[in-house]
Structure 1
Amino acid sequence: MIDEAIDAGKVGIVTNPVLPGDHPDPSIVRVGTDYYMVTSTFQFFPGVQVLHSVDLVNWKAIGHVITRKSQLDLTGMPDSFGVFAPDISYYDGKFWVVVPYYHGQPRCTTLLFTADRPEGPYSEAIMLNHHFIDPSIFNDDDGKRYLVFGGGWVHEMERDGSGLVGEAKQVWPGTGGAAPEAPHILKRNGWYYLMLAEGGTFFGHMETLSRSRSIWGPYEPCPHNPVLTQRDPEKFIQRAGHGKLVQDEEGNWWMFHLGGRPLTPGGYCPLGRETFLQPVQWTDDEWFTVGDAGEPCASLVLTQHGLVQAPACDLHDHFTGTELSPDWEWVRHPVEEGYSLSPKGLRIVCKPFIPYSLQSTLLLTRRWHSFGFEATATVAFYPESRGEEAGMTMYRDTDAFLFFNVRNGLGQTAAQPFDVKRLYENQEHEGLYLEVGQYVNVLKTTLGTWRLPIQHGERIWLKIRLEPKTQLFTLFYSIDGRVFEETGIALSAEFLYPERSNRFLCFTAPRIGLYARGVYGEMEGYAQFSSFTMEPLR
């Protein structure tokens, strides 16, 4: 019967993940026929990307919650700090987003933002408390509201969101797994269901469940905990947990959760933590199960007429709007007056910044969505000083990134730390050069330089290809947009994987980006990006 329904177009086959690539800690809310989701963004700005869907499967970024430095200043924010797991809810005609702001203290600061529209603009922050990570809001049917946060804590909240009422209480600490976090409460048939993520966000991650007749407890654990985890180390969906439930218009229940896809069993997850969709089934004794008997499904069937899952990583941007697409996010805040948009495209000024510092940058990034892809950027470079550069980047954080750029004059040619004085003094050759530079733990290795047969202001096409099977980058350039020359460089992408971080626990996955950069104390030119495309490779 299912096969016949599929042939008739009455159902759609959905392949997980539904949000591939660096979309951890999903939170979802349905308002009418629309679904809205937020995920973690850490040190990237704008922060807390808001996504929209009408079918639970195909998602489009529509805005951000944190769009102004006055809401949250990320200057100096260490890698993998900043915006942890946010939660979105809807109450009294408004969208409410609580954000755990982790800034290196033992606890997070919980910030609340509200907006009349899901895409924003959102209010200035209301500080609610300093406590454990991962807050969420539960709106009870008696009008009372509660803030729930990691470790199974509950605290009543003022109805207008202006503050908290009384004292917090830990109502259920979980089943004993490490790091009980990501709590969500829902109410059904008089039961309060409290979910927690346990075991940490790595292999062995899981979702556990309890319930009570009172929001304050006592809570009884589900007899078949965990309700979601990956028990088979050979399956391609691992690290499953941190889930939230939503009910669709037809009354069906679904869970969105994070997970990772390792290249090999127990190996690296190049795309980091992604968002997956699972069916939820309620049992006769009023518990529920998730996925396939508690394990995540790689694919599932949705009974929606004409549902087609759009391919991941098929992107085209000509920067012709008045604002950047919300798919783009800067590394921390952009340098002031560092970029603009016009009918000619995206202009990034060659303002100086240190790419591995924790200050403002002009590194504009977007997520990888597949294990292999081909990305091309078109740029016209108008430098004013020797040492200026502009082009593409493959970026994980300040400890690992790759630059593929056009440089005004030949720069550093040996593996050495970045030094502004040395950079300036080493400008031995005039003209435009193509350069490939790899940064690992502040050490730069120049992998190649080539003299370019173009003048200032002439366009050049830069292309980076990531082979899905070998995980090798190959780099190309063209001066006419049709014939591409290969640089001869083949570089493993492994140094960008989150698990390859040596100095800290890395929560962010690799991104691709555009940038321009100048030299301190020198005149500033600019780069004009007129197009960017990114297509998946199978």
Structure 2
Amino acid sequence: MITRKIFFVLTVLFLCSFHGMAQGNIPKKEQSKKGPFFSNVTYTGEDEIYKNNPLKPDEFYTPILQGCYPDPAITRKGSDYYMVCSSFAMFPGVPIFHSKDLVNWTDLGGVLNNIDEFNPHDTGISQGVYAPGITYNPHNDTFYMIVTAFSGGLGNIIVKTKDPMKGWGSPIKLGFDGIDPCIFFDDDGKGYVVHNDAPDKGKDLYQGHRVIKVWEYDVMNDKVIPGTDKIIVDGGVDLSKKPIWIEAPHLYKKDGRYYLMCAEGGTGGNHSEVVFVSDSPKGPFKPSSSNPILTQRYFPKDRAQKVDWAGHADLIQGPDDKYYGVFLGVRPNDKDRVNTGRETFILPVDWSGVFPVFENGLVPLEPKLKMPQGVTENKTGKDGFFPNGNFTFIENFNSKKLDYRWIGLRGPRENFISITKKGLQINPFNVNIKELKPTSTLFYRQQHNTFSFTATLDYNPSSEKELAGIVNLQNERFNYVFGVTKKGKDTYILLQRTESGQSKIIASAKIDNIKNIRLQVKAAGDSYEYSYALNGADFVNLGTAVSGDILSTNAAGGFTGALIGLYATTANDAQPQ
């Protein structure tokens, strides 16, 4: 099980010297003539669960966001829905999506896209920023995104906008510790912030003992009001049972009463969602007798079509006025390993009684749902809407505006890429993929357990310190590098495996006439194969299939899913055998 890692002392970090542009049009700038060119990139997902569960006209798939899009939070203004997720050290921070119907989503990029204001340049991949909340305040027609940032000494911050389509304001630091903040606005316009925190000093009872706090919020001055903080949940539903990691709180108001919904049990196999009720936003809060209202922890580990770790949820009224809940879950591969990370799922919620209950949230989750009443068309993967299920994503790098699914790590992608007539050129940093620094790698999330990723590489390295190719990365200490480099006067292709920070060469081959080499990684569950093709010939495997174990959170720990990157470096340490 993964437990929630938290740092209470946030180190003030100096901002790195380079400055990136906000996401959007790729800037024209001089690039190294030695920088590699990538073109004709194709990602294809082929999971059996989608082949075995074709959609009917009135159905859609869940998860709605596949791959590493965890910790979803959602809000609504009129017919517009906005949803945010965690991004950790990926850049830009806090991905945000828009929908009119909860089925078809448009990727708007990231909320925190100014490197001068949010800079995760030397943090581990599972730090950076996580567990956001997003709330629309009708009293001042303003959207608020509140989140914990583990970089630059930011701590808990809030940003605002009148229109999420047009960007967000600068981060405002908030004066409290803990994680997972969420902001709530009452009918009278008063604001409240709830969050996870440690128990009062000296009152820790066991490992994983946490509390939920509430603060009154000064809406005019955007700060919590000193002295108003209060613990409203101690430990969880039943302190005598030593519940762990009560977190991810959200406040709601329905029929004059206040509801507090939280995750409980840790972000792993015991994860769940629980709910409390009160007559005041400051408590006391009474737990539902039917908790948990969502979990997958009660079922056999070897069940088919397994979805696990369900929790960390948020509620919203859908276009049919029915309630829906978005939440995270995982879909392990054939070895029960989690490579695709924690994804965003959705379920209808029955709130006809006192407490909300996720419909079918206490039975094994199914891969598809009925669309909300009144929604007539599933357009996922078409007309600019985010895809789900099995799909193919083709990138020729011939558009001036790069798809938002391409991201940087610890810094903006715009700092090392250019769009040229030959494709995407990467200006390599003198940084290895294993370093805690911004890396010159353009990343795409692994979104399926069975997939292929193919790219054409035009590259002529001049020394053993230069390498370009594909990287499969769970984090800086667990990854595969599949690329082209030099040894003496000869050019080689190699596969390097890094586990717990220790690297070894799995296979290598001398190659000639390397112009426009095709590189491919194919995964079938836990089995990953790396192959290459020269001069339009058939693909040749480099070595035998290898295990994807190091690309799982089971082996590597942390909170992210595996990433696939177009990688270039002048700090290569992988040498052919």
**TM-score, normalised to structure 1's length?**
0.84
Contact 1:334 1:362 in 2 (8 A): no
Alpha-carbon distance between aligned partners in 2 of 1:359 and 1:324, rounded to the nearest angstrom? 23
* Matching residue of 1:300: 369
* Matching residue of 1:182: 248
Aligned partner of 1:448 among 507, 510, 514 = 507
* Matching residue of 2:426: 348
Matches within 5 A, 1:63-212: 63-91=109-137, 92-102=140-150, 109-150=155-196, 151-160=211-220, 162-166=222-226, 167-173=228-234, 174-175=236-237, 176=239, 177-212=243-278
* Matching residue of 2:517: 460
Aligned partner of 2:531 among 447, 467, 476 = 476
Contact 1:322 1:342 in 2 (8 A): no
Quickly say closer, same or farther: Cα 1:336–1:34, change in 2 above 3 A: closer
Alpha-carbon distance between aligned partners in 2 of 1:405 and 1:60, rounded to the nearest angstrom? 33
Contact 1:313 1:370 in 2 (8 A): no
* Matching residue of 1:221: 287
Counting aligned pairs with the same residue, the percent is: 31
1:438 aligns with 2:507: no
The Cα shift of 1:218 comes to 1.8
Q: Residues 366-421 of structure 1, C-alpha deviation per residue, up to 9 Å, x if partnerless?
A: 211111101111121154545311111100101111111121x22xxxxxxxxxxx
The Cα shift of 1:343 comes to 4.4
Task: Pick which of 126-135 and 57-66 moved more.
Answer: 57-66
Quickly say closer, same or farther: Cα 1:472–1:104, change in 2 above 3 A: farther
Quickly say closer, same or farther: Cα 1:306–1:216, change in 2 above 3 A: same
1:270 aligns with 2:329: no
Secondary structure of the residue that 1:84 maps to in structure 2? Answer: strand
Secondary structure of the residue that 2:549 maps to in structure 1? Answer: helix
Secondary structure of the residue that 2:157 maps to in structure 1? Answer: strand
Q: Residues 63-120 of structure 1, C-alpha deviation per residue, up to 9 Å, x if partnerless?
A: 1012122222212212311212011222333332111123599xx9211122343245
Q: Which amino acid aligns with 1:462?
A: L
Contact 1:147 1:154 in 2 (8 A): yes
The Cα shift of 1:261 comes to 2.2
Matches within 5 A, 1:215-364: 215-230=281-296, 231-234=298-301, 235=303, 236-263=306-333, 267-284=336-353, 286-292=354-360, 294-295=362-363, 297-298=365-366, 299-302=368-371, 303=373, 304-307=375-378, 310-333=388-411, 337-364=415-442
Quickly say closer, same or farther: Cα 1:43–1:479, change in 2 above 3 A: same
Alpha-carbon distance between aligned partners in 2 of 1:432 and 1:351, rounded to the nearest angstrom? 21
Alpha-carbon distance between aligned partners in 2 of 1:199 and 1:117, rounded to the nearest angstrom? 36
CA RMSD of aligned residues (A): 2.5
The Cα shift of 1:149 comes to 0.8
Contact 1:352 1:519 in 2 (8 A): yes
* Matching residue of 1:510: 562
Q: Name which structure has the greater RCO, CA cutoff 8 Å, separation 6+.
A: 2
Contact 2:81 2:98 in 1 (8 A): yes
Alpha-carbon distance between aligned partners in 1 of 2:427 and 2:563, rounded to the nearest angstrom? 21
Q: Residues 213-261 of structure 1, C-alpha deviation per residue, up to 9 Å, x if partnerless?
A: 2111222211211111122234512211111001112201000111122
The number of residues matched between the two structures is: 483
Task: Pick which of 297-306 and 123-132 moved more.
Answer: 297-306
The Cα shift of 1:293 comes to 6.2
Contact 2:413 2:442 in 1 (8 A): no
Secondary structure of the residue that 1:171 maps to in structure 2? Answer: strand
Q: Which amino acid aligns with 1:211?
A: V
Task: Pick which of 474-483 and 431-440 moved more.
Answer: 474-483
Q: Which runs of 5+ in 1 are unaligned?
A: 1-6, 411-427, 521-538
The Cα shift of 1:296 comes to 5.7
The Cα shift of 1:320 comes to 2.6
Quickly say closer, same or farther: Cα 1:117–1:378, change in 2 above 3 A: farther
Q: Which amino acid aligns with 2:482?
A: F
Contact 1:379 1:459 in 2 (8 A): yes
Alpha-carbon distance between aligned partners in 2 of 1:482 and 1:316, rounded to the nearest angstrom? 21
Q: Residues 343-362 of structure 1, C-alpha deviation per residue, up to 9 Å, x if partnerless?
A: 44321113311321212211
Q: Residues 10-38 of structure 1, C-alpha deviation per residue, up to 9 Å, x if partnerless?
A: x6223332222222111111233232211
The Cα shift of 1:58 comes to 3.6
Q: Residues 174-216 of structure 1, C-alpha deviation per residue, up to 9 Å, x if partnerless?
A: 3132111000011111011110111111111111111112111
Alpha-carbon distance between aligned partners in 2 of 1:192 and 1:375, rounded to the nearest angstrom? 48
Alpha-carbon distance between aligned partners in 2 of 1:444 and 1:293, rounded to the nearest angstrom? 42
* Matching residue of 2:551: 496
**TM-score, normalised to structure 2's length?**
0.78
Quickly say closer, same or farther: Cα 1:335–1:328, change in 2 above 3 A: closer
